[in-house]
Structure 1
C-alpha cells in the first residue's frame, strides 16, 4: 500500500514538473469537421473512404477526419512539436493520455445548438465546452491547483467554428428557418454573441491562449460552386461572411483588452484560402473548382464513397470533397497560422503566442 502511494505521488510530481516546464504542454481543439479526428458517428452512417493515415474509429470504421490525411489541428500540433490531441470520444482518452491535450471537435457541429441537426449525432460548441469540463475534472485528480493553472495557461485552445452555421443551417432554408428570421448581418451577429459566451466560459475554466479561426470563402467550395455561374464562386455566399469574420477580429481586440492575462488570436481563414484559390500555382495546386472525391460528378458529396477511387494526384487538389480541403491545402493554412504575418494571424501568430 505504501509503495502504491509513493508511486502515485511520484507520478503527480512528474506531471506537475512537465506542466511547469513545457512551453506548450497541450492543445485543446474545439470545432467542426475541419478539425474532427473521430468524435461523432456521422461517418458511420454516411459513405466514407478509408485512406491512410485515418486510423480506427471508436465505434467501428475510419475516424472522423474529412480529408485524405491530416487536418488543420494535426498540422498545428505538428508544427508546434506538440503530440496529437486524442479524440474525446475515444474510451482510452483517460489518465496521462489527456495531458497531451484532447480534441473535442465534431463533424456537423456549429456555434448554434441546432446547426447540423439533420445529420443526427454531433457535439455542438456548447456540448464541447461541457466535455472540456469533464476532462478538466480528470486533470484535477492528476495535479495540484497551481500546476493545473500553469498547465492550462500554457496550453493552446484551437477553435474552428462558423462554417456549418452557414452551410448546414442558414443556407438550407428548407430545413432551417434562420434565413427567414435574420438577414445576413443579423445572423452573423447572432453567431458572434453566442460564440463570445462560450469563449468566455473556456477562459473562466482556465484556458489563456486561444486561436480563433475565421470562416473561409464558402462560396468557393465545390458544393456552392455547383449553383454559381460556370467558373465562378457563389459571390453572394462569400459576401454574407463579412459580418462574422470582421466581427470575430474585432472580438479578438476586445477580448485582449478585457483579459490582459490572456492572448486571443484571429486566424484569417478567408484571406489564406482566398490566396490559395487566386494563386494556386504558387502552392503547386492545379484544381480549385472540384473535389478529388467525385471529381465534379457529385458536388453535394460529403466525402469519398466506398469503393470510389479518388483522384490520383491528390496533392494538386485544393478540395478533397465538396466541402473540405485536402491535406495539402490544410497544411498551407496551418503553416501560415503558425508562422505567418498579422494579415494571416492577428495580432500575432500561433508560434509567437506559444512563446508567451
Structure 2
C-alpha cells in the first residue's frame, strides 16, 4: 500500500535527551529546547522514520520525481494544507509521534535548527528496499540512501555531544521502518522490470529480506536499539489493483505474493532480537489490521472499502488523485484516500492499535511498551 504503504533526526532528540545531570532520557525536560521541554511529557527523546509514501511527509517535494503529493487535495484535512503527505491528513507516524508525546517529525529535506530536536523523517515515496525499485518515478530516496542521510545526522550529533553521550541517547529513540510495498508494486509487478522472470515469489521474498536484514543491522551498528517494523498490507485489495479487474475484486495472486515477505520479516525479527545485544524489534501486522477494518467496516464508521476517495476510473484507482481534483466529501467513511494510500482516519486507527494493541496486531510488545523499556 505505497505509491506506485511504513525516521531521521530522532537522533537529535535522542541525543538531546541524553543523561545530562540527573535528567533521564525520555522522562524529563529536553535540555536542547528553549523552554526545557516541560510543556509535554515525551516518552522517548526522538523518533527516526524510514520508509516510502505511506509515511513520507515531503522528502520528494524538491526531487525530479513523479511521486509527489505537495498539491491540493492532498492535505485537505491537514493543518497547513498539502505538505507532501500522501493522505488527506495525518500519516500513521504522525499519530504515533503524538501518542509518544512528540511533535510532528519534520522531513529530512526541510529539517533545520530546533526542528530536528525530536527526530527526522527520511521516508521517500516510490522508495524500496532495493535501490532499483521505483525507477519509473525517476527521483526517490531508496532505503540505503535514507540510512546514509541518517548517518549524516548522526555525525553532526556526535560532533556536538561526543560519542558516548550520543550512543546512550540514541539507544532510547524509536526507529520506525515501513518499506517494501514498492518492491512489489513498482518493481516485481511492473512489466518493464525483469524481476518477475528472475525470481519466483519465494525467491524474491528471500532476496528482499536478506537485503532488509543487512539494512536493519546497519542501523543497529549506528546505535539504533528500539525498532518498530511495519509489515506489508493486503496490496491485492488497494484500488490500483482492484481497478485491473472488471469485477473490481481483490487480487488473491498479489495477496499471496506478499505473504512470504511478511512471514520472513517476522522470522528475521525474532533472529535479530535473539542475536543483537540490546536490540528490541517489534512488528506491526498491517495486513491483519486492514482485514479487521474491512471485516468490521461499519463498526469503525466506514462505508466505502473498495475505491479511493480521490482518483479516476474504475474503483477510482486507474489514475490516482490529480492536482485540484475534487475528492469525496465523506472522507471518514472511506478506507482509501487515493489509488494506493489509506485515509487519515485509517492511519490514526492503525497507529493507535499499534501503540497500545495486543499481540494480534503488534508483536511481541506494542509501541507504548517498547517506549517504556
Residue of structure 2 equivalent to 1:3:
none
Show the counterpart of 1:5: none
1:200 aligns with 2:178: no
Matched, 1:20 2:25: yes
C-alpha deviation, 1:151, in angstroms: 1.5
Q: Is the alpha carbon distance of 1:275 and 1:185 closer, same or farther for their aligned partners in structure 2, counting shifts above 3 Å?
A: same
Query: In the alignment, what sits opposite 1:29?
Result: 49
**1:333 and 2:350 matched:** yes
Alpha-carbon distance change, 233 to 14 in structure 1, aligned in 2, over 3 angstroms: closer
> Quick check: 1:286 aligned with 2:286?
no
CA contact (8 A) 1:19 1:150 kept: no
Q: Deviations over 1:63-122 (max 9, x none)?
A: 2200000101101111111122111011xx234332200000000000000110110111
Contact 2:170 2:223 in 1 (8 A): yes
Q: So what's the TM-score if we normalise by structure 2?
A: 0.85
Structure 1: how far apart are the matches of 2:301 and 2:203?
A: 39
- The 5 Å alignment of 1:171-320 reads 171-173=189-191, 175-228=192-245, 230-294=247-311, 296-297=313-314, 298-302=316-320, 304-320=321-337
State whether residues 175 and 224 of structure 2, in contact with CA within 8 Å, keep that contact through their aligned partners in structure 1.
yes
Name the residue aligned to 2:31. Answer: none
Distance 2:306 2:219 in 1: 37
Structure 1 residues 37-56: Cα deviation after superposition (integer angstroms, max 9, x where no partner) = 00013368789424242647
The alpha-carbon distance between structure 1 residues 117 and 43, as it changes in their structure 2 partners (threshold 3 A), is: closer
Q: Structure 2 regions of 5+ residues with no counterpart?
A: 1-14, 28-42
Identify the residue that residue 49 of structure 1 maps to in structure 2.
Answer: 72
TM-score with structure 1 setting the length: 0.89
Partner-residue secondary structure (3-state), 1:102: strand
The total of aligned residue pairs comes to 336
Distance 1:268 1:85, change over 3 A: same
Shift of 1:275: 1.1
Deviations 1:122-155 (A, max 9, x none): 1000000000001111111332323211221110
Q: Which residue of 2 aligns with 1:153?
A: 171
In the other structure, the counterpart of 1:64 is 84
CA distance in 2 between counterparts of 1:256 and 1:45 reads 36
Look up the SS of the partner of 1:289 in the other structure: strand
Unmatched 5+ stretches in structure 1: 1-11, 57-61
1:54 & 1:190 partners in 2: Cα distance? 40
Measured after TM superposition, the shift of residue 228 of structure 1 is: 3.1
When the two chains are superposed, the root-mean-square deviation of aligned CA atoms in Å is: 2.0
The equivalent residue for 2:122 is 104
> What secondary structure, in the 3-state scheme, does the structure 1 residue paired with 2:281 have?
strand
Would you say the 8 A contact 2:69–2:86 is kept in 1?
no
Q: How far did 1:311 drift?
A: 0.2
Give the CA deviation at 1:13. 8.8
